[in-house]
Amino acid sequence: MPPLNQLTAHELHKKLKSREITSVELTESVFDRINDVDDSVKGYITLTQDIALEQAATADKIFDRGDQASSLTGIPIALKDVICTQGVLTTCGSRILGNFVSPYDATVMHKLNAHKTVMIGKTNMDEFAMGSSTENSAFFTTRNPWNLETIPGGSSGGSAAVVAADETIISLGSDTGGSIRQPASLCGVVGMKPTYGRVSRFGLIAFASSLDQIGPLAKDVTDCAITHNVICGHDPMDSTSANFPVPDFTNSLINDVNGIKIGIPTQYFSEGIDPQVEASVRSAIELLEKLGASTEEISLPHTEYAIATYYIIAPAEASANLARYDGVRYGLRIDQIDNIIDMYKKTRSQGFGDEVKRRIMLGTYSLSSGYYDAYYLKAQKVRTLIKQDFDQAFKKVDVLITPTSPTPAFKIGERTDDPLQMYLSDIFTTPSSLAGLPGISVPCGLTESGLPIGLQVLAAPFEEEKIFRVAYTFEQNTDHHQKKPKL
């Protein structure tokens, strides 16, 4: 049998239930793996071993007594360090929150605790979730387990890398413009961004409030569906939370795409896409056709404006959200100051990294008097056009299939001097984020040099079931998700 840390949550649940293994043994196996490889991967900012072993012992008592246990009871989970965890450091990958211990739990944390999961630790990320490579973390760069010279993607790079390296069973990330799906693609794991409003944002430290969503990264589609069942649902603590029924997503894990209509957006197969990525995605589409799905070329004419639109709206919201970090109430405060304005200035200039400062300045500029209509208001109008493109497409088809990322993982340091090149890493994920759509990335191949390639499946709002069905069928008929990096 492979080591416990390599198994999926649904495989482990059966073993825990039959008492073939204990949650404590499983948790120890995960920490052994972390001790072996995390010096190379650098996926975690904070480890919570004492808490984890205590939670695992509690889960074991539930199984010993034969009490009702959920599919995630006793399962080790890592959390992106942007999700508040009571009594544990929550840094957002930033110096400004380097000493911040959250006084409360995020709603997703409450839900995980109710299911008696095991918290392994907090994963590394681009500072305040701003980045596509995890090189913007104030602490260190996470490395891709498939090739330690390359980036794991971002901003949930740590969450993707620790799943790929078997340093946890499942992790949670957050996705604003592709920050779950892009790292999932580059690290060869499954990553799901729910419909905007499907998962509570209460306790998720805000970057861009009209875009941010928490979602799972996992070893297969089944684990994604199980985690989705736990974290979704209406929350009165979040005014943007959708009061919409949550189905049992595991009912959608059907190995059958007969009658499913797949749209292939022509704009997503344009110049700039790596030929190996395009070839893998096209062969995935052919396989789904053989399995009974029909395909149709679709046009999403406003796609070319998505990156520009996103980089006006997201920084504008970030500029407002990050105004609270001023050294007054919590986080970093610089002491050698002349007056309160000097304190704000020094705290923010020393606490924030370059990318965060760049986005705050971009956002403040586009919200400023005289520029608001020209930039922010116009971007919101274009966002509506992008959403309408998708609305039209989903009148004809059930799902859209695209590459997740235009290229496989690139070398660490390769794009740090060229922010625009970096922003283009999310060219296939930002349009659906602007439209609030759900999307998944599933592994669909490896490049000649052995780097993972991801396939993105998108559906209309609150139609995650269609995504799970297509993704599950693809996964059941291929072995891409079973491949592991040789660390």
| CB contact at 8 A, 116 and 73 | yes
Residue 29, both tokens:
């196996």
CA atoms within 13 A on the CB side of 377: 7
Tokens read off for 443: 């592994």
Q: Which of 80, 122, 346, 466 is catalytic?
A: 80
Half-sphere exposure of 475 (CA within 13 A, CB side): 27
Strands (E), 96-237: 118-123, 170-175, 190-193, 213-218
Residue from 155, 159, 174, 252 carrying the catalytic annotation? 155
Active-site annotation holds for 155? yes
Backbone angles phi, psi at 299, to 5 degrees: -110, 135
E strands, 168-212, in order: 170-175, 190-193
Contact 285, 401 (CB under 8 A): yes
Distance CA 118, CA 161 (A): 18
C-alpha radius of gyration, the chain, whole number: 21
With H, G, I as helix, E, B as strand and everything else as coil, classify residue 439: strand
Alpha helix (H) ranges present in 232-339? 275-290, 306-321
Nearest C-alpha neighbor of 6 from the set 23, 30, 24: 30
Other C-beta atoms within 10 Å of 405: how many? Answer: 29
Closest-CA residue to 347 (of 358, 356, 355, 336): 336
Spell out the residues 6+ positions from residue 228 whose beta carbon is closer than 8 angstroms to its own.
192, 194, 215, 216, 249, 464
The size of the chain, in residues, is: 487
State both tokens at 88.
């544990």
d(CA 113, CA 480): 32
Q: 179 an active-site residue?
A: yes
Which residue, chain included where needed, has tokens 């544990």?
Answer: 88
405 is catalytic: no
d(CA 173, CA 158): 9
Tell me how far apart the alpha carbons of residues 140 and 81 are, in angstroms, rounded to a whole number.
13
- The one catalytic residue among 29, 133, 159, 179: 179
User: Is residue 429 within 8 Å of residue 456, measured between CB atoms?
Assistant: yes
With b for 16 or more beta-carbon neighbours within 10 A and e for fewer, the 111-131 pattern comes to bbeebbbbbbbbbbbbbbbbb
370 dihedral zone (left: phi>0; alpha: psi -120 to 50; beta): left
**Residues annotated catalytic, as ranges:** 80, 155, 179
